[in-house]
Chain A
């Protein structure tokens, strides 16, 4: 079935460094890739998304890249700050009647001050 693998499961960086989280999807028909940030005990919040007709998208300190051939997509956070500490989830879906999101297992990012 459809699957999204996410790595690493935990990531610790120093404040100001960059962080990269990678995901791989199995269904080549997937064409929408959102990223969610979840702080402890709170709801996931959409932080950025990318569609399959675009290779890269940026929003201030965060960016997402997509390699459709390899079925990889990545989240890049530059100049990390302590408030970036959270669990990050990638997801994939495909245009169709259901538009179900398939989530990765999450990455716990810890930014050390």
Chain B
């Protein structure tokens, strides 16, 4: 799982502010993903991108935005429209295996606290 970095590790923001979380990978993976993790709820998909300049909404995209201008980078912006932004955010990237399956590798995560 080396090769995927997220920054910062901890982030504090005031309510009403937009904040951007960084995710970079040097694994030459085509696909990248953003998940949100809350206690007792597992990982929920926010957005994903399978190719540069293209991305799709996941299950909980409301209040979030992304861009994919470079293969290596997939930043996530948490907007003021997100009602409960405090969470642990995980970025992942994936490679294609034989038979078309995809193995996902995770970054170390960013813990966002909004007060």
Contact with A along B86-105 (1 / 0, CB 8 A): 00001000100001111111
In the complex, what residues of B have CB within 8 A of residue A36's CB?
106
Q: Does A70 contact B (CB under 8 A)?
A: no
In the bound complex, do residue A43 and residue B109 qualify as a contact, i.e. CB atoms below 8 Å apart?
yes
| CB neighbors of A among B24-81 (8 A) | 31, 40-45, 48, 50, 56, 58
Q: Is the interface of A mostly helix, strand, loop or mixed?
A: loop
Binds B, one of A14-22, A56-64, A72-80, A103-111: A103-111
In the complex, what residues of B have CB within 8 A of residue A43's CB?
1, 90, 106-109
In the bound complex, do residue A98 and residue B1 qualify as a contact, i.e. CB atoms below 8 Å apart?
no
In the bound complex, do residue A45 and residue B99 qualify as a contact, i.e. CB atoms below 8 Å apart?
no
Number of interface residues of A (CB under 8 A): 25
A42 vs B90: C-alpha distance when bound (angstroms): 10
**A93 and B102 contact, Cβ closer than 8 Å, known pairs A43-B108, A98-B56:** yes
In the complex, what residues of A have CB within 8 A of residue B48's CB?
98, 100
Give chain B's interface residue range (CB within 8 Å of chain A): 20 to 34
In the bound complex, do residue A45 and residue B106 qualify as a contact, i.e. CB atoms below 8 Å apart?
yes
In the bound complex, do residue B94 and residue A100 qualify as a contact, i.e. CB atoms below 8 Å apart?
no
A32 vs B99: C-alpha distance when bound (angstroms): 10
Q: Does A51 contact B (CB under 8 A)?
A: yes
- Interface residues of B, Cβ cutoff 8 Å to A: 1, 31, 40-45, 48, 50, 56, 58, 90, 94, 99-109
Apart from A44-B106, A45-B1, what are 14 other A-B pairs with CB-CB below 8 Å?
A6-B42, A31-B101, A32-B101, A42-B109, A43-B108, A46-B105, A93-B101, A98-B48, A98-B50, A99-B100, A99-B102, A100-B45, A100-B48, A101-B102
Of all A-B residue pairs in the complex, the 6 with the closest CB atoms, nearest first, are: A99-B102, A43-B106, A105-B42, A103-B43, A103-B42, A32-B101
